[in-house]
Amino acid sequence: MRLEAPELVRVDLSEVDYDTAVQRMTGWADQRRAGLAPDRLFLLSHPPVITYGARTPPADLPDDLSAIPTVAVDRGGNATYHGPGQLVGYLVMDLRRWGPVDVVRWLETGLIDAMAALGFPTLRRDTPPGSPSLVGVWTPDGRKLASIGMRIRGGVTTHGFALNVDTDLTVFDRFVACSLDDVAMTSLDELATERGIRTPSDAEVRDAVATHLGAAVSQTP
């Protein structure tokens, strides 16, 4: 059964240092639990950083940890990269308002709809038992376009997704993204180049994502 997206307030930010964003996200979640703020979708980018969850195998991390900052995080999922040319979305939503809901599936579906609106067919994949998680957004030929890692605490979600728009994909050669050592990462820019079409702008991607995640627009946190 397809889930209807809850109403969200869209908050557009520019580039935010990762540590700063995590500190702010803690406050955003506290506000939501206290009923002082609505459900919000924060759209932003980060300077280069590799983040990883608690279950990430050490062998997945870069050999040279000094090349790009590497930060342990309290979300689900394994190692992933954030950097210029990537749209990051942090979802701060009170699931207690909506009852039982597969928020990860809802997020995958919304992003897939957004990519379709931009002219890029994508899909979600089920994870076989015992295999690394295949949560995210994928191309039909098996490349990963967007990664998802979330945390639910006190009924409120934090963290969210990272969508490659015109990201430097060579960074993913330095570590094992999402514990999937046989998977290639891709970007909208790479897909557009292959098809001979224009890469959508950051504003177009933000609008599509916000629209298809059911976001109500607001320009200030």
Residue 73 lies in a domain: yes
The tally of domains found in the chain comes to 1
Question: Is 117 domain-assigned?
Answer: yes
Binning pLDDT at 50, 70 and 90, where does residue 36 land?
Answer: very high
pLDDT at 216 over 80: no
Q: Which two tokens stand for residue 81?
A: 């990269």
pLDDT at 185 over 80: yes
pLDDT at 217: 38
Q: Evaluate whether residue 192 is within a structural domain.
A: yes
pLDDT computed for residue 1 by the predictor:
33
Closest Cα to residue 10, out of 47, 45, 40?
Answer: 40
The confidence score (pLDDT) of residue 179 equals 82
Question: Considering the chain, what is the average pLDDT of its residues?
Answer: 88
Residues 6+ apart with CB under 8 A from 133: 77, 78, 127, 178, 179
Please state, in angstroms and rounded to a whole number, the distance separating the CA atoms of residues 15 and 29.
Answer: 20
Which sequence positions are flagged as catalytic? 178
Q: Which two tokens stand for residue 219?
A: 């320009």
- Residues 59 and 68: their CA atoms lie apart, in Å, by 16
What lies within 8 Å, CB to CB, of 190 at 6+ separation is 169
Average pLDDT score over residue span 179-203 = 94
The per-residue pLDDT for 99 is 63
Say which range, 75-79, 96-100, 151-155, has the weakest mean pLDDT. 96-100
Residue 52: the pLDDT is 87
CA distance 189 to 33: 38
Residue 206 lies in domain: 8-218
Q: Are 44 and 28 in contact (CB under 8 A)?
A: no
Which two structure tokens, joined as six digits, stand for 79? 């190692």
Gap between the Cα atoms of 39 and 41, Å rounded: 7
Q: Is the pLDDT of residue 220 over 60?
A: no
CATH number of domain containing 75:
3.30.930.10
Q: How many CB atoms lie within 10 A of CB 131?
A: 10
Distance CA 110, CA 147 (A): 13
- Residue 3 belongs to a domain: no
**Is residue 38 one of the residues assigned to a domain?**
yes
Specify the pLDDT at position 65: 67
In sequence order, what are the residues at sequence separation of 6 or more whose Cβ sits closer than 8 angstroms to the Cβ of residue 61?
Answer: 50, 52, 70, 79, 175
Residue 3 has pLDDT above 50, yes or no: no
Distance (Å, whole) CA 86 – CA 77:
18
Predicted pLDDT of residue 55: 79
Q: Is residue 30 included in any domain, yes or no?
A: yes
Q: DSSP code of 17?
A: -
Question: Does residue 178 fall inside a structural domain?
Answer: yes
pLDDT digits (tens, 9 = 90+) for 57-71: 888 888 776 678 888
Determine, yes or no, domain membership for 2: no
pTM of the model: 0.90
Confidence of residue 215 (pLDDT cuts 50, 70, 90): very low
